[in-house]
Amino acid sequence: MGHRTESSWVPSVTLLVGIGDTDIAALLLGADGRVRGDADMVFEGQPVHPSGAVKHTKKALSLALHEVEPEVERIVIAGAATSGSLAAMAPDRAVVVAWLIARPDDAEAVVYGEFFRESGGWKFTGIGKGYASGLAELVTAYGVEVEAEAEKEVEQPVAAPADGPVPLTGVAKAPGRTPSRPLAQSPWQALVAPSAPARKAGEAGGTPAPTASPAVTTAPAPTASPAPTAAPVPTPWPAPAPSPVPTAYPPVERAYELVEGWEFGPVFEPFTASGKGGEAVTVDGRVPPGPVLVEAAHEGEGYVGVFSLNKFNKDDDHLFSTTLPHFTGSSVIRAPGDRPLRLRVEARNRWALRVSPVAAARRLTGTLRGYGPEALLFTGGAADLRVHFEGKEDGSGYVGMWCHEVAGRTTLLTHPALMMNATGPLVHTVPIPPGPLLLLFSADGPWTLTVREIG
């Protein structure tokens, strides 16, 4: 790649990158060293990459390196010419990058450094290359199409349209497009040309174009149903608080963390995909054969289904099949060894998938709340599990749980133990054996689980 400075490894986790009060931006590059479209620029006016892996917040950048699409080879960090120190901090607040920046002479914009892939991981290298003509020259070097009169047009603020905001991907006075706020608020915004569309999901090396993602308010959130009077909650158990119900599209943003000591299933860097409507997804080679965690999210209302495909490219098993609004869920499936794992998504709106190690599932301890189906890990001793299922608004809704005892195993049980199988709101206690256990919990709505070990 022609790096000119000594490079250092960084952990493949979510890093917070900043240079003091300097506003910075990221450009996501493919193997050709160029952006694939407007969506591959992340800055104040376009703060979230479609993959969700790179975000701009408070003059800093959040880089979820473990979620970056495989087509992205490099992430360039750039901004206005300045002096200072670029720092990258891991979730445990450890500083993993500290790069001193000296402002180049006669430069208006600078490439501070870049993160790049190597041998299955990520490295950082400092660059410090200046561009005398400013941001336009800098981004053009990486394939961004810039209008010749962009700077002049930025000086003329354009009023927001009466029918609401539109995606911030255009330039003032572009035919048929009106920005939702004055472009002068961000010097980067004027550099995004409307003639450089992002490739759609499913195209070679492509990502879906960014769209505004306001909170969905048209569908009423399910309300908590009271526990049946015939089975009151015993006084030794605390009364569960209402479980959270998503009110907006959550693109599988839960942090990637592995449960310590969990040994069931292979360990690998997660695979992510997103799109809208029906689509077939081929998981890349980073996912080895064996049990893997599949997380899904769907925007708004409507049916969503996720199915695995067999070697004949036909539906093999269903992971999710629901009309639950603002759906989120997770389950475990076996990735085959003789071919890539393929998933078929049937959905009405936008969706996101993440395939991770089973060890990335949530651990069941104390009190846990959720919404929809979820794979849970239990590593404690024999316990009683209190289930409070709130059900649907009309008093219906399914709730069930299957138990895989995974000690010493490398595959899922063919016939896991069915621990509960019921419909409608309920409060119920289920005795569970000592761990390690993989619990596949299924619910058509909000729930609360409280675990109490025996003895």
Q: What is the pLDDT of residue 100?
A: 83
Residue 279 sits in the same domain as residue 147? no
Domain boundary at 141, 176, 191, which? 191
**Residue 347 resides in a domain:** yes
Residue 279 sits in the same domain as residue 153? no
Residue 339 sits in the same domain as residue 427? yes
Measure Cα distances from 136 to 21, 150, 366, 371 in Å: 22, 9, 54, 46
Determine the residue type at 318. H
- Predicted confidence pLDDT, tens digits, the chain (455 residues): 333 345 789 999 999 999 887 889 999 999 899 998 888 999 888 888 888 899 988 778 999 999 999 999 999 999 988 878 889 988 888 888 988 887 777 888 999 999 999 888 999 998 888 898 888 889 989 988 776 544 444 334 433 333 333 232 222 222 232 233 232 345 665 555 443 333 333 333 343 333 333 333 333 444 444 444 444 434 455 555 555 555 444 445 566 789 989 999 999 989 989 888 999 999 998 899 999 999 998 888 888 899 999 999 998 888 998 888 888 899 999 999 999 999 999 998 889 999 999 999 999 999 998 888 999 999 999 999 999 998 877 777 888 999 999 999 999 998 899 999 888 888 999 999 999 999 999 998 889 999 998 87
Written as six digits, the tokens of 184 are 């002068």
Q: What is the pLDDT of residue 225?
A: 41
Residue 185 sits in the same domain as residue 300? no
Domain boundary at 161, 191, 221, which? 191
Which pTM was predicted?
0.50
Q: What is the pLDDT of residue 361?
A: 94
Residue 174 sits in the same domain as residue 61? yes
The alpha carbon dihedral of 406, 352, 397, 247 has a sign of positive
**Residue 211 resides in a domain:** no
Residue 189 makes CB contacts below 8 A (sequence gap 6+) with 43, 45, 46, 154, 168, 171, 179, 183
Q: What is the pLDDT of residue 238?
A: 53
Give yes or no for a contact between 170 and 45, defined as CB atoms under 8 angstroms apart.
Answer: no
Measure Cα distances from 394 to 225, 401, 444 in Å: 10, 22, 12
- SS3 for 276-329, per residue? ECCEEEECCCCCCCEEEEEEEEECCCCCEEEEEECCCCCEEEEEEEECCCCCEE
Residue 276 sits in the same domain as residue 132? no
Residue 421 sits in the same domain as residue 283? yes
Residue 301 sits in the same domain as residue 156? no
Q: Say how far apart CA 65 and CA 69 lie, in whole Å.
A: 9
**Residue 227 resides in a domain:** no
**Residue 69 resides in a domain:** yes
**Residue 170 resides in a domain:** yes
Give yes or no for a contact between 344 and 306, defined as CB atoms under 8 angstroms apart.
Answer: yes
**Residue 165 resides in a domain:** yes
Q: Say how far apart CA 331 and CA 346 lie, in whole Å.
A: 17
Residue 353 sits in the same domain as residue 446? yes
Residue 315 sits in the same domain as residue 185? no
Domain boundary at 134, 161, 191, which? 191
**Phi and psi, residue 355, nearest 5°:** -110, 120
**Residue 229 resides in a domain:** no
Residue 170 sits in the same domain as residue 275? no
**Phi and psi, residue 100, nearest 5°:** -80, 130
Q: How many domains does the chain have?
A: 2
Q: Please give the biggest Cα pair distance in the chain.
A: 79
Residue 129 makes CB contacts below 8 A (sequence gap 6+) with 104, 110, 111
Written as six digits, the tokens of 163 are 């029918």
Q: Say how far apart CA 291 and CA 141 lie, in whole Å.
A: 43
Residue 159 lies in domain: 8-191
**Residue 120 resides in a domain:** yes
Looking up tokens 């308010």 gives 217
Looking up tokens 């596949």 gives 440
User: How many residues are present in the chain?
Assistant: 455
How are strands ordered across the β-sheet holding 362-363?
362-363, 374-378, 437-443, 398-405, 417-423
Residue 286 sits in the same domain as residue 418? yes
| CATH code for the domain in which residue 114 is found | 2.60.60.30
What DSSP line would sit under 111-160, residue for residue?
A: EEEEEEEETTEEEEEEEEEEETT-HHHHHHTTT----TTHHHHHTS--PP
